[in-house]
Chain A
Amino acid sequence: MNKVNISISIIFVIVISWIFYLTNFKQDSSFTVRYYSVAELSDISNQIDKVKVGGYIKPNSIVISEEDRLEASFFVYQNDDSVKVYYYGIRPDLFKDDAEVVVSGSFDNSQISATELQTKCASRYEGDLKNTEKI
């Protein structure tokens, strides 16, 4: 190995080690957040600082505050389980009943205080046909 190759290898090893250090598989890294299923959260009673959950908005569960229209709560469901989510801020345009969402935030008292609310990108919906008539 010549000096150029050695220097490149050293840089590579340092950066890769740094990456592994930043993203250890434990949950204590400041860069990582664990993805929970709604069913898992239903069984947890303690507080969790960072959670990420995906699912669908439970129909008729969206409650928007009369005082402040930016304040909303709703339930996210997967199969038969659901979890309550509180969110303050501008909601995406595609936020509505049965919309697929991903929320991130903290979990306490069986509810998620979301800091991030994303709906499925419009370009990726493969919805059912709407204007149909049975023969």
Chain B
Amino acid sequence: MISQIGSIAISLAGGLIFSSFLFLGLFNFLGKKNYLLVAERAILATCYSIFLAFFCLLNELLVSNFNLQYVAQYTSYETPMFFKVTALWAGQAGSLLFWSFITSIFTVVYIFTTLKRMNSLKFHSYLILAFIFSFFILLSNFIANPFDPVSADIVVQNGNGLNPLLQNFFMAIHPPILYVGFTGSAIVFVMALAASISKDITFDWVQSIRRWSLFVWTFLSAGIILGGYWAYNELGWGGYWAWDPVENSSLMPWLTLTAFIHSSMIQEKRGMLKKWNFLLATSTYLLVILGTFITRSGVISSVHSFTAENLGPMFFSFLSLLILYTVFWFFKRKSYLDTDDRIDSFTSREGGFLYNNLILILMCFTIMWGTLFPILSEAWDGNKIYVGASYFNQLNIPIGLVLLFLMGIGPLLSWNYTSKDILLRRFKMPSTISFISGFSYFLFSASFQLYVLVAIMGITFTLTSILGEFYKSYKKQKKSSSNIIVSFTNMLLNNRHKNGGYIVHIGIVLIFVGFIGRAFEVEKEFSLAPGEQIYFANYTFKLNSIESEARDNHYAFLSNIDVIDKENQFLTNLKPEKRIYFYWNSDPEKRQPHSELDIHSTIQKDIYSIFSAYDAQKNLGYFKIMINPLVNWVWIGGIMMVIGSLFAFWPSRIKK
């Protein structure tokens, strides 16, 4: 019964969104405001129908209604309740409905908050939103319907269950957080187009779109970091980023949105860069759809692509229409978006922002070029050619290092123009500390690497510059209060937007600290019998035992390894496991091996252990050990980034 209601709700959403087009057309031709109001209500009703469908699917997952194909595919009676909820986005059909669900939440908020103040944007906002909704509703109705029943000639005794790799807290929350970022960028896209088409770009609009962007950016950042964290802690290859096409697809919109957040500040302060901002705001959502096309079309071979490949042409058509629409309005409104003001000085805050934009866009372009290279090369001469991680690293490491320095240079520049004297005075401290740190690395490092030297100098330069800015603000506050805590709190709260930005930048600097560690990673694969030991990277790894144990839902081989440091002191005990899920199944194909890692994690380095195989006849364990320096700084930096952007996003106290 509930599944029928869900199915009807999706169909109803289709009818409602179609009717919204009808009333928008009537409003456009007849000009009666009532038609616009009816269209608005039809869009809201569409959102409510999607909410209903979503909660129906959730109910069916929770009660294990295996008459539905989707429920049977991703859950079983044994699936814990929490993971039954997360199965909502585990598969193609559910994730598409989930996508519509989040878009609906954003649409309702957008209509009741932003559009309440900006009447002139309503018509074009509704038109674009209706188009976006109609596409996803079409997919949910006709291509990937989560309410499709199982074949009539079978009875499902139990569902397949969720893959053990996905039964992890971080994997459960990573997709929805990323989806919030992806779908939220639709609102930024709609706002940019609607304001340009309506020729109503106001100061209020700039502030509003920046707040939306910041919110979306926070979720995109958190989603990307969480994905890396899950991959590192669960997948067992010892890394957090592999330059896979699907990973790149989430990074590209993040880069353009980051550029937009910076350059819209110039529009807010000086009314400049309207055209550029239009392109950044719209391209963010277009890149999201491009990424979705890559993920769901199978056009590029990726371990992250969905197996079902029937959505490719649909997403390609949708993307093409969105691009055509955007390009058409860009040229149509080119003169309106033109601004007379020009950035004339290199040494101005605007100049700094512009270079930052250039770097971010170059980075985005290199990633897009590398990601789409197989398609382009195939179109060129029929040969599908892939670029490897070395391409992305070779290009993005130097570009990233320039960006690192720019984050430190930006705060030292004034708006409009910075004189030579002021520039020298402000650069003195960060430059000195940067050179001292670089020189120290040069003198004391055991293995010198140029990129590491530049990164260390960039990190210290930028940190000194940002902390210097904090100190200057703190000194101002100190004049009005002698209490250190009060002065510090006031300093932080006084300009949340700016300080939040600085906290984000510190987070990114810390992530760069983590990146440095990658230059010093080492790994070794080996086999050991109990009682044997191996010396590697200044540590002795001694295998004490391998035991086995039948547990509730898997069979586990448990290794026990002592790690002894070079001073012959016991450091830690590692217990990586080899698990076999569904081991009771007589068909070996149905059994699922899984390596449960064990990581000795410190702020300096991680000792990462994987129990990859067990030879029962010889009582021999096969292991991989990786020494990964500074990885924790990536997660600490990621947390700071999110905290900083939430700090910047949080509304300021209204001064009475």
A residues adjacent to B (C-beta < 8 A): 2-5, 7-8, 11-12, 15-16, 18-19, 22-23, 25, 27, 30-35, 52, 54, 68-70, 89-94, 96-98, 100, 102, 104, 118-127, 129-135
Residues of A within 8 A of B342 (CB): 2, 4-5
Report whether B305 and A124 are in contact in the complex, using a CB–CB cutoff of 8 Å.
yes
Say how far A124's CB is from chain B's closest CB, in angstroms.
Answer: 5
With beta carbons under 8 angstroms apart, the residue of B158, B303, B362 that contacts A118 is B303
Interface status of B599 (Cβ within 8 A of chain A): no
Hey, what's the 0/1 contact readout for B354-371 against A, CB within 8 Å counting as 1? Answer: 110010001001100110
Hey, what's the 0/1 contact readout for B373-399 against A, CB within 8 Å counting as 1? Answer: 110010011011111101100110001
Interface status of B82 (Cβ within 8 A of chain A): no
Alpha-carbon distance A18/B160, docked complex (angstroms): 49
Hey, what's the 0/1 contact readout for B304-333 against A, CB within 8 Å counting as 1? Answer: 111110000000000000000000000000
Interchain pairs with CB closer than 8 A, number: 177
Alpha-carbon distance A127/B525, docked complex (angstroms): 32
Report whether B73 and A126 are in contact in the complex, using a CB–CB cutoff of 8 Å.
yes
Alpha-carbon distance A30/B165, docked complex (angstroms): 34
Alpha-carbon distance A45/B308, docked complex (angstroms): 33
Query: Which residues of chain B (125-169) have a CB below 8 Å from chain A?
Result: 150, 152-160, 163-166
Report whether A102 and B390 are in contact in the complex, using a CB–CB cutoff of 8 Å.
no
Report whether B391 and A22 are in contact in the complex, using a CB–CB cutoff of 8 Å.
yes
Alpha-carbon distance A91/B525, docked complex (angstroms): 12
Interface status of B72 (Cβ within 8 A of chain A): yes
Report whether B307 and A124 are in contact in the complex, using a CB–CB cutoff of 8 Å.
yes
Nearest chain B residue, comparing its CB with the CB of A133 = B155
Say how far B62's CB is from chain A's closest CB, in angstroms.
Answer: 19
Alpha-carbon distance A126/B70, docked complex (angstroms): 10
Interface status of B344 (Cβ within 8 A of chain A): yes
With beta carbons under 8 angstroms apart, the residue of B303, B525, B590, B614 that contacts A130 is B590
Nearest chain A residue, comparing its CB with the CB of B343 = A4
Interface size on B, residues (CB 8 A): 77
Question: If A69-B615, A69-B622, A126-B92 touch, does A31 touch B394 (CB 8 Å cutoff)?
Answer: yes
Nearest chain B residue, comparing its CB with the CB of A54 = B301
Report whether A125 and B307 are in contact in the complex, using a CB–CB cutoff of 8 Å.
yes
- Sorted nearest first, the 7 A-B pairs with minimum C-beta distance are A31-B391, A122-B165, A35-B384, A90-B612, A122-B163, A131-B158, A132-B154
Question: If A25-B385, A27-B383 touch, does A124 touch B365 (CB 8 Å cutoff)?
Answer: no
Residues of B within 8 A of A12 (CB): 358, 362
Residues of B within 8 A of A68 (CB): 527
Residues of B within 8 A of A3 (CB): 344, 346
Hey, what's the 0/1 contact readout for B589-610 against A, CB within 8 Å counting as 1? Answer: 1101111000000000000001
Residues of B within 8 A of A126 (CB): 73, 91-92, 306-308
Residues of B within 8 A of A2 (CB): 342-344
Report whether B592 and A93 are in contact in the complex, using a CB–CB cutoff of 8 Å.
yes
Say how far A95's CB is from chain B's closest CB, in angstroms.
Answer: 8
Interface status of B638 (Cβ within 8 A of chain A): no
Nearest chain B residue, comparing its CB with the CB of A55 = B301
Report whether A134 and B391 are in contact in the complex, using a CB–CB cutoff of 8 Å.
no
Residues of B within 8 A of A98 (CB): 589
Nearest chain A residue, comparing its CB with the CB of B612 = A90
Interface status of B90 (Cβ within 8 A of chain A): yes
Say how far A45's CB is from chain B's closest CB, in angstroms.
Answer: 19
Nearest chain B residue, comparing its CB with the CB of A127 = B160
Interface status of B105 (Cβ within 8 A of chain A): no
Nearest chain A residue, comparing its CB with the CB of B361 = A12
Report whether B304 and A121 are in contact in the complex, using a CB–CB cutoff of 8 Å.
yes
Report whether B595 and A93 are in contact in the complex, using a CB–CB cutoff of 8 Å.
yes
Query: Which residues of chain B (591-644) have a CB below 8 Å from chain A?
Result: 592-595, 610, 612-615, 620, 622, 624
Say how far B445's CB is from chain A's closest CB, in angstroms.
Answer: 27
